[in-house]
Amino acid sequence: MDYRNLTAPCGRDCFNCPFYLAKEDERIRTKLAQQFNIEPEKVTCDGCRNIKGDCRVLNNYGFTGKCKIYECYKGKAIKFCYECTDFPCNLLHPLAHGADKFPHNLKVYNLCMIKKMGIDNWARNQSKISFARYYNDKLDTCI
């Protein structure tokens, strides 16, 4: 798997994202379509880099336009936001809006771990753990 291509510049691990996984898994696709009250074919995603930050899934959920983080990234000679001289910036700021459905608050943590571990090591050994902890652990949970 091409982990670099399937990890958004902001650190979002597309390869673990239900919208990416829904491409090949009808059960996930059906569940997401019901959850977001949209047609099953509209809940799939090819990954941020492949769609150039134009997430139709989020657009269906009420967001409009292309991802501002991707728009900022594409004008720079970097692979990930942590390489930017402005990192961390306000575009990566955690937000409560949609946090229960979209793990975008993991971005800065993921970027720091990618920088520390390397993309392949992070993708194979840390990304699923972080994704699961985001949705399942509580604030006082220790590793």
pLDDT value for 120: 97
Per-residue model confidence as pLDDT tens for the chain (143 residues)? 999 999 999 999 999 999 999 999 999 999 999 988 888 888 899 999 999 998 776 666 666 668 899 999 998 999 999 999 999 999 999 888 777 777 788 999 999 999 999 999 999 999 999 988 888 887 776 65
3-state secondary structure the chain: CCCCCCECCCCCEHHHCHHHHCCCCHHHHHHHHHHHCCCHHHCCCCCHHHHCCCCHHHHHCCCCCCCHHHHHHCCCCCCCHHHCCCCCCHHHCCCCCCCCCCCHHHHHHHHHHHHHHCHHHHHHHCHHHHHHHHHHCCCCCCC
CB 114 within 8 A of CB 82: yes
Name the 3-class secondary structure at 114.
helix
pLDDT value for 95: 82
pTM above 0.95, yes or no: no
pLDDT value for 36: 82
The rounded distance, in Å, linking the Cα atoms of 123 and 1 is: 10
DSSP 8-class letter at 16: G
Rg of the chain taking only CA atoms, in angstroms: 15
pLDDT value for 75: 87
